[in-house]
Amino acid sequence: MELILMLTILLVTVTIGAGVYSIKKQLGNEKTGKILGINMGSFVILVIAATIFLISGNTSFASGSTATAALAASGTSGDGLKFIGAALSTGMACIGAGIAVAAASSAAIGAISEDAKLLGKTIIFVGLSEGIAIYGLIISIMILG
């Protein structure tokens, strides 16, 4: 598991470094896309491998340590899947809410610039799109509860 963690950290730093390098050198979109595509593809493969490794339950704890013994007794692969599900429901809902807020807010700003009386109506639409994140949070609380 430590190997997967180290490889993930390495891939994330290489991805960030490649992005900074391409911005500084002002590489074209083709080269930057190829570099980041390879990094993201290998990151996705690594995440899938780590998920399969964790679901299979083949993790081993060192014997003799009280902290690892307590972790081994309290956690199962079902708990791990529960945490993954809660994280995905909150994360994906927040991403969707961000996209919805971006679209609704830009339209609201355009409408308000033409007619200031529309401020109250446009705030309602922006608030409704923010509610998507709250729904994801509620679902994750239900999963964990």
Amino acid type, 30:
E
143 and 89 in a single domain? The answer is yes
Contacts of 133 (CB under 8 A, 6+ apart): 90, 93, 94, 96, 97
Predicted confidence band of residue 61 (pLDDT cuts 50, 70, 90): very low
Question: Are 42 and 92 members of one domain?
Answer: no
Domain shared by 85 and 54, yes or no:
no
What is the pLDDT of the chain when averaged over all its residues? 80
- Which residue is associated with the tokens 């998507």? 132
Name the one residue in this structure whose structure tokens are 């339209």.
107
Q: What is the pLDDT of residue 62?
A: 44
User: Domain of 40?
Assistant: 1-59
Is residue 28 a part of any domain in this protein?
Answer: yes
Beta strands, E only, the chain:
none
Please indicate, yes or no, if residue 31 is contained in any of the structural domains: yes
pLDDT tens string 36-47: 777 778 778 877
> Does residue 64 lie in a domain region?
no
